[in-house]
Amino acid sequence: MAELYDRYSSIVYSVALRVLGDAGAAEDILQEVFLQLWRNPGAFDSARGSLGAWLAVITRNRAIDALRRRKPETDIEDVIVSVAPDLAGEADRQRAAEKVRAALSTMPAPQRNALQMAYFEGLSHSEIAAKTGEPLGTIKTRIRAGLIALRKAFQA
């Protein structure tokens, strides 16, 4: 577990910190995510994707639950994550992160904002629509198009 921690703690902590904006709360999520992995290592199916991506998704979901003060919505076993780039090594993740940041910077601002509000603030599409004054359908489409644009950045 110490080895897994050394390899992946940075990604878990960064995601939790981005969502919660508080170092202490992010450390609590870090603790919770790795304890869950220790208690239930079979929850992650290595045949179905990368541990780094899976931990990023689990952490984001837990952090959003903490942010919105709600009980965890999904069992960690239910989450299957399929991601193209290899995220096992620190250097791989740095390269991928740069690609994602580049893709985000070329995205139209309303699309980037909708995506980030949904992902890092845990807002529903109706909350985003209320906040931006745009139609629900537009927000939905922007979120999906934003996610797919990130995928395409790795297919090029």
Partner 1 sequence: MTAHEQFADDLALYALNALEGNDRANLEKHLATCSDCRRELEQLRGDGALLALSTIGPKPPARARQRLLDAIAQETASETRARVAATTTGSRRSWWGWLGWAATAAVVVFAASLWKENSALKQSLALMGSQSAQTAREMEEMRRIAAPILSPQAQHITLVSVKTPPQPQGKAFYLRNRSSLLFMANNLPALPPQKAYELWLIPMEGAPIPAGVFKPDAHGSATVVNPPLPSNMEAKAFAITVENEAGATTPTMPIVMMGTGE
Residue labelled with tokens 């529903």: 124
- Report how far residue 126's alpha carbon sits from residue 112's, in angstroms, rounded to the nearest whole number: 17
Least Å from the CB of residue 3 to partner 1 = 5
User: Residue 108 or 151: which CB sits closer to partner 1?
Assistant: 151
Scanning the structure block, which residue is given the tokens 């878990």?
12
SS (H, E, C) 64-111: HHHHCCCCCCCCHHHCCCCCCCCCCCHHHHHHHHHHHHHHHHHCCHHH
Least distance to partner 1, CB of residue 43, Å: 9
CB 30 to partner 1: min, Å:
6
Question: What are the C-alpha distances in Å from 144 to residues 49, 69, 132, 148, 150?
Answer: 21, 26, 17, 6, 10
Nearer to partner 1, 105 or 133 (CB): 105
| Residue 17 CB, nearest approach to partner 1 (Å) | 5
DSSP 123: -
Name which of 107, 97, 16 is nearest 55 in CA terms: 16
Q: How far is the CB of 80 from partner 1 (least distance, A)?
A: 5
